[in-house]
Structure 1
Amino acid sequence: MYKKLLELSIILALIVVILGAYTRLADAGLGCPDWPGCYGQLTVPDAIDGTQLEGYDRPLESAKGWKEMIHRYAASSLGLVILLLWWQAFKNRTLHRQSMPLPTFAAFFVMLQGAFGMWTVTLLVHPGIVTIHLLGGFITTSVLFWLLLNQNRLSPVLSNISKTNKLLLLTTLIVLFIQIALGGWTSTNYAALSCGNQFPTCLDTWWPQTTLGQIFYWGPIGINYEYGVLDNATRAGIQMVHRIGALTTTMAIVFTILRFYQYRELRNHLKIIAVLLMMQIALGITNVLQSLPMTIAVLHNVVGLLLLLSVVSLMHKTFKR
């Protein structure tokens, strides 16, 4: 039952990440101006679009409301499954010597994720809050994936990995996570199209007229950040920092692949990482050249998560657990 719940939770986590990306890219994050319901109901109200419902300043947009609510339904289901997962681990902690720290962390973390989901709405899609919420989804999925990998008793830890290579792998994971954060920051600041369809340049230059202080501007709480508040030059700077991060991450992953290719047991795994990396680069460039088509943009999020999980899986093979 524990393993089946883990498998179900990972499937739900992937669905939640996909729906979250779609909701964000469809500008539906405020499709329901309250939380956890939608205009005070458990479903989107059955009313004509544009209706000003009593007690709410935002007129109804049913399509956006349903995108947001379906995402919430999936996230709530994931939270329930993770709590059931913790309960199964707790019941079996003696009989099967089930470790409790990670299931407990997952249970508390998914509740924290729920809080950030609420703050995403109540704080009017503040870019920092939405980015943290995105990263939380990736962390939740990674923890669940690690727990599932722990269920494979036939997967030994490779003992011949040098400390230098382990440190390199850990550094690569951190670099990749930072790049995912930069991608979230780009999306939540509506900066994905700030360079037009130019690549690798941006607005006919290599660096727009902006500063790092403007690029990482946190912004006050209480104002509406829907569609962004930064000027286009600053958004273009965010886009360029994300591109620099992509180049840095690519170099880190390629170097890691080359260093780890000496271990025959890992070669097939490294090939999967290489394929996912190439896919992610192609999707990122296509997003720019094709002006952010929805399918490609959502896939860019999904492949980013799969790339992260592939590196997490590589760590699982090389670190004690």
Structure 2
Amino acid sequence: MLFQLAIKGLLVALLAFTIVWVSGDRNKYRKLLWVTLFLTFDLIMFGAFTRLTDSGLGCPDWPGCYGHANPLQAHASISAAEAAQPTGPVTVVKAWIEMTHRYLAMGVGVLIIAAMVVAWRGWIKSRRSDMRFSPWFPTMLFVFVCIQGAFGAWTVTLKLQPVIVTIHLLLGMGLLAMLTWMAARQSEHAPIDASVANLRIPAAFALLLLLFQIALGGWVSTNYATLACMDFPLCQGQAWPNMDFANGFTLWRHLGKTADGDYLPFPALTAIHWTHRSFAFVVFAFVGWLAFRALEVGGLQKTARWLLAMLGIQLATGLLTIYLNWPLALAVAHNGGAALLVLLLVMLNYKARIPAQTAAKPAATRLSTAQFN
């Protein structure tokens, strides 16, 4: 089974390797990073689809499906489980959704291993003088993806425990952020005005705010609290509805249960939804202010415009999810919008540090020349 799963992961990665190979980009390492970044974004989107279709336990074991490498081989076990619980978590469709998500995750893992190998090879070949191939960040990324894989396994074995699923989501966003930074390091950028230094701290703070908001959004999704407030701007017709923050934000508990094992009360779901909705205004205001400030900095206008556009789209998908009674496509798009905001804010953070990196580059070059000549 493990061998068959590995083959499927390699097949997914092979498609990406083909794109890199036939690309006209002479810097194949850069192309590999951007393709890996694109597939990681796809993985996050498909992970949201898996979660929102309640397919996380479509195959209730890990890494295979009832001990097999694909749902076709496990068809008898899946059909028996579906017959026993027709409205339960295991169906043939959900099993395929879950395993497709795992295949894509394995493919991304193979690509990250390949990027690490290329980096180490280039680093050794250049006698540690070519900073483009500095292997420490790719190696850290490999460790990070292994941790992410472990949480993916625990998501299944711990039966969708909300804190584990939310951490799994955050690690996925962290993986996207790290790949964005790595790809940005390999790419050429327009000259940035030195005044960008004033945005370094606000940009970092905005990214932290966004990640906290994503954690709250993950908590809403994993606790199935999306429909707790079906009106806007009020919640259940009130500015301050009946809410149970203690049970709502108890982290270590089973899905749908309190820490004591009782059913999670509806006011707890209301507290979860209301907190995510309220904090969204804070994030929207601060990131919007940051984007308008970035519009005034030479070399950042394009990133700032994209950031403002995504903020508007994210607000729209969030509101429409409420007004249209949680359509699946909009819910998945809302998750994708959060991922794109992460990507854009990481890129903004990177560009905010370009002038300092450019200034430090001649000194680093002189040091490298002194060491290896």
**TM-score if structure 2 supplies the norm length?**
0.79
SS in structure 2 opposite 1:202? coil
Partner AA of 2:349 in structure 1:
M
Q: Work out the CA distance in 1 between the residues paired with 2:237 and 2:80.
A: 43
Q: Where does 1:216-235 land on structure 2 (aligned, <5 Å)?
A: 216-220=249-253, 223=254, 225=256, 229-235=263-269
Do structure 1's residue 99 and structure 2's residue 134 form an aligned pair? yes
Q: How does 1:168-207 map to 2 (within 5 A)?
A: 168-195=202-229, 197-207=230-240
User: Amino acid of the residue matched to residue 49 of structure 2?
Assistant: Y
1:187 to partner: Cα distance: 0.3
8 Å contact from structure 2 (residues 33, 183) kept in 1:
yes
1:50–1:59: 8 Å Cα contact kept in structure 2?
A: no
User: Which structure 1 residue ranges, 5 or more long, are not aligned?
Assistant: none
Provide the aligned C-alpha RMSD in A: 2.2
- For residues 198 and 60 of structure 1, the distance between their equivalents in structure 2, rounded to whole angstroms, comes to 32
2:54 corresponds to which of 16, 20, 27: 27
Helix, strand or coil at the partner of 2:243: coil
Query: What one-letter code is carried by the residue in structure 2 that aligns with 1:135?
Result: L
2: distance between equivalents of 1:175 and 1:159?
Answer: 25
* Aligned with residue 84 of structure 1, among 91, 107, 114: 114
Inter-CA distance 111–48: structure 2 relative to 1 (3 Å threshold): closer
Contact 1:158–1:317 (CA<8 Å) still a contact in 2?
A: no
- 1:286 deviates by 0.4
Work out the CA distance in 2 between the residues paired with 1:275 and 1:78.
Answer: 28
In structure 2, do the counterparts of structure 1 residues 93 and 256 end up closer, same or farther at CA, with 3 Å as the change threshold? same
Give the structure, 1 or 2, with the largest relative contact order (CA under 8 Å, sep 6 or more).
Answer: 1
- Alpha-carbon distance between aligned partners in 1 of 2:64 and 2:78, rounded to the nearest angstrom: 18
When residues 229 and 314 of structure 1 are mapped into structure 2, their CA distance, relative to the original with a 3 A threshold, is farther
User: Residues 207 and 237 of structure 1 are in contact (CA less than 8 Å); yes or no, is this contact kept in structure 2?
Assistant: no
- The 1:59/1:153 distance shift into structure 2, 3 A limit, reads closer
Q: Secondary structure at the match of 1:193?
A: helix
CA distance in 2, matches of 1:182, 1:106: 25
Within the candidate set 122, 131, 143, 1:108 is matched to 143
- Asked if 1:126 corresponds to 2:161, the answer is yes
Judged with a 3 Å threshold, the aligned counterparts in structure 2 of structure 1 residues 34 and 298 are, in CA distance, closer, same or farther, namely same
> 2:176 matched to 1:141?
yes
8 Å Cα contact 1:31/1:68 also seen in 2: yes
- Higher mean C-alpha displacement, 90-99 vs 109-118: 90-99
Q: Report if the CA contact (8 A) 1:279-1:303 is conserved.
A: yes
Preserved CA contact (<8 Å) 1:180 1:304 = yes
Identify the structure with the greater helix proportion: 2
Structure 2's unaligned 5+ residue stretches are 1-27, 83-87, 358-373
Partner amino acid for 2:32? Answer: L
Residue 44 of structure 2 is aligned to residue 17 of structure 1:
yes
Normalising by the residue count of structure 1, what TM-score does the alignment of the two structures yield? 0.91
**Percent identity over paired residues:** 35
Q: Secondary structure at the match of 1:265?
A: coil
Contact 1:49–1:59 under 8 Å retained in 2: no
Q: In the alignment, which residue of structure 1 is the partner of 2:12?
A: none
Aligned partner of residue 160 in structure 1, secondary structure: helix
Equivalent-residue separation in structure 1 for 2:102 and 2:160 (angstroms): 15
Deviation per residue, 1:74-110 (Å, 9 max, x gap): 0011011101110110111142331122111110011
Does residue 286 (structure 1) correspond to residue 320 (structure 2)? The answer is yes
- Residue of structure 1 equivalent to 2:242: 209
CA distance in 2, matches of 1:77, 1:267: 35
Asked whether the 8 Å contact 2:52–2:328 carries over to 1, the reply is yes
Asked if the contact 2:213–2:276 (Cα under 8 Å) also holds between the matched residues in 1, the reply is: yes
Residue aligning to 1:242: 276
Distance in 2 separating the partners of 1:105 and 1:158:
31
**Relative to 1, partners in 2 of residues 1:64 and 1:225: Cα closer, same or farther, differing over 3 Å?**
farther
Distance in 1 (CA, whole Å) between partners of 2:256 and 2:245 is 20
Q: Measure, in 2, the Cα distance between the counterparts of 1:265 and 1:133.
A: 34
Query: For 1:285 and 1:316, how far apart are their aligned partners in 2?
Result: 31
**How big is the shift at 1:153?**
3.9
Does structure 2 conserve the Cα–Cα contact (< 8 Å) formed by 1:214 and 1:234?
yes
Choose which of 320, 343, 349 in structure 2 pairs with 1:309. Answer: 343
Q: Distance in 1 between matches of 2:37 and 2:89?
A: 36
Aligned to 2:97: 67
- Supply the AA of the counterpart residue of 1:102: F
1:273/1:177 CA distance change after superposition, 3 Å: same
72 and 229 in structure 1: CA distance in 2 versus 1, 3 angstrom threshold: farther
Deviation at 1:204, TM superposition (A): 1.8
Aligned residue in 2 for 1:3: 30
Q: What is the deviation of 1:156?
A: 4.9
- Given that 2:55 and 2:95 are in contact with CA atoms closer than 8 Å, whether structure 1 keeps it comes out as yes
Aligned partner letter, 1:51: A
Q: Which residue of 2 aligns with 1:268?
A: 302
CA distance in 1, matches of 2:99, 2:217: 24
Give the stretch that moved more between structures: 4-13 or 178-187: 4-13
